Structure 1
Amino acid sequence: MTVEVERKFVCNAEIMGKLQDIEAECIGQRQFQDQYFDSPDFILTLKDFWLRCREGLWELKCPAVSGPTPDNETQTLCTRYREITNFPLIQSEVSRIISEHTAEGSESNSSQREQTDKVAENEDTEISSLDDTKWLTDLNLICFAEFKTERCSYMLEREGAVRVDLDQADFGYCVGEIEVLVPEGGDMNAALQRITSTAAELGLSCEKRVEGKMHVYLQKYRPDHYAKLLNAHIL
């Protein structure tokens, strides 16, 4: 399992030239579609868990709790998430989160609790295929966001790999991302330093965190969901 350390930045007309100046290697361009899932009352995202299906591949982003706490400036500019890509482990973790939530609720939620317990019991004996979405129905998970992205990616070696992605979403938002992947329990400070160094080479200002694609999507298309996440200090 890895931790994704990421800093977003505003794309401008000069960024391509700056990437060439620092000898970043273009590793390809592609288009992909993302679908994000949650319960109707936002159980997952209100705990900062993000369940995504990208072109048939599932991923669960979870809050990173290991490693040192970054200083105020780094905490403002960067995000840190554990990434789970093993499908049975994703099912197990999502079932656990929803089951714990419903257990905290009233007895009127007993029906949904039975559904989550049933899914959890079956996981030891039956592993769903990647295209099996029955578990989504069992856990009452629905798609709350869906969009396509055009991405151009670059790689740099800065005492370790640093990836830079330039994304154009189909709802009109463009954003860049500087990303370093760290093994869980690895050297988080080194990753943060590589991101900071790369940002300086690209001439990025250190003011405030730049909004990601999901942030902007929710503002435009899911304002109620967005407001709840703001109130919970998730966004």
Structure 2
Amino acid sequence: MSVEVERKFACETDIQEKLKDIGAVCIGQYRFTDQYYDSADFNLTLEDFWLRKREGSWELKCPAKSRANLENKADKLCTNYREVTDLAQIKAEVMKVMKNSTEAAESSSKSSQREQTPDERWLKDLELVCFAEFTTLRCSYTLESAGAAGKLRVDLDQADFGYCVGEIEVLISEGDDMQSAQQRIQKTAEKLGLGDEKKIQGKMDVYLQRYRPEHYSKLIDAHIL
């Protein structure tokens, strides 16, 4: 299973030129729509689990490291999530987190054994509803890191609600050296002239702050955002 180590940054007007100057290669531009799901009581997101449907494909982001164990500046500027893309495993992970009644869990287990219908019956069984939906125009770059295995990726995202943010990302296998991935991200940030004094808000942070203030407030109080 992969772990996404990521740092967000504010997009300046000359960021694409800076990326080219450090040897980043543009691999394309594309548009996608995300739908995020949770219970009415925010059971998933208050545990830092993010269930997403992107262009028909499901993904669950699970916390890879406890916030109580943040050790250094790189830890505080980066996010670390396990990425689950197998639907059966996603359902199993979600059911562990959900605080639904035993009856609801049993109902979901039975329904998951049947052929899934377009209305995603399992979501109804677990009383999960869409709390956020937005479309992103993304321009992606890759960058080789000297002496490091695998490419580093940089995404420039423009959300349809008027927010632009950049992301520096390294994918590693679960159990691999996370500190090494953070160091690669830090070096790239330095090459791009990015400051490291504060964490930049992601698209979800801004979306919730604008359109779901109650949800946003609860996540702030729980130190998730």
Q: Shorter-chain-normalised TM-score: which range?
A: over 0.9
- TM-superposition CA deviations, 1:24-56 (whole Å, max 9, x none): 010110000000000001000000000000000
Q: Determine if contact 1:152/1:165 at 8 Å carries over to the other structure.
A: yes
Distance 1:53 1:212 in 2: 18
Number of the residue aligned with 1:196: 186
Match of 1:223 among 210, 213, 223: 213
Match of 1:179 among 131, 146, 169: 169
Task: Quote how far apart the aligned CAs of 1:121 are.
Answer: 4.7
Task: Quote how far apart the aligned CAs of 1:208 are.
Answer: 0.6
Task: Quote how far apart the aligned CAs of 1:71 are.
Answer: 3.0
Distance change in 2, residues 1:128/1:183 (3 Å): farther
Number of the residue aligned with 2:125: 138
Distance 2:213 2:155 in 1: 27
TM-score, normalised with respect to structure 2 = 0.93
- RMSD between aligned alpha carbons? 1.6
- Identity across aligned pairs (percent)? 59
Distance change in 2, residues 1:6/1:127 (3 Å): farther
Distance 1:169 1:122 in 2: 35
- The question of 1:116 aligning with 2:90 is answered no
- TM-superposition CA deviations, 1:36-84 (whole Å, max 9, x none): 0000010000000000000000000001039xx5532112210000000
Number of the residue aligned with 1:73: 73
Amino acid at match of 1:115: A
- TM-superposition CA deviations, 1:172-197 (whole Å, max 9, x none): 00000000001000111111111011
Distance 1:173 1:38 in 2: 23
Distance 1:128 1:7 in 2: 36
- TM-superposition CA deviations, 1:199-225 (whole Å, max 9, x none): 011110111110000000000000000
Q: Map 1:3-152; keep pairs closer than 5 Å.
A: 3-65=3-65, 71-98=71-98, 101-102=99-100, 112-121=101-110, 123=112, 125-126=113-114, 128=116, 131=118, 133-152=120-139
Identify unmatched segments of 5+ residues in structure 2.
none
Q: Determine if contact 1:88/1:128 at 8 Å carries over to the other structure.
A: no
Amino acid at match of 1:21: D
Which aligned segments of 4 or more residues in structure 1 are displaced greater than 6 angstroms? Answer: none
Identify unmatched segments of 5+ residues in structure 1.
103-111
Q: Determine if contact 1:95/1:120 at 8 Å carries over to the other structure.
A: no
Q: Determine if contact 1:175/1:212 at 8 Å carries over to the other structure.
A: yes
Q: Determine if contact 1:22/1:201 at 8 Å carries over to the other structure.
A: yes
Task: Quote how far apart the aligned CAs of 1:23 are.
Answer: 1.2
Q: Determine if contact 2:2/2:82 at 8 Å carries over to the other structure.
A: yes
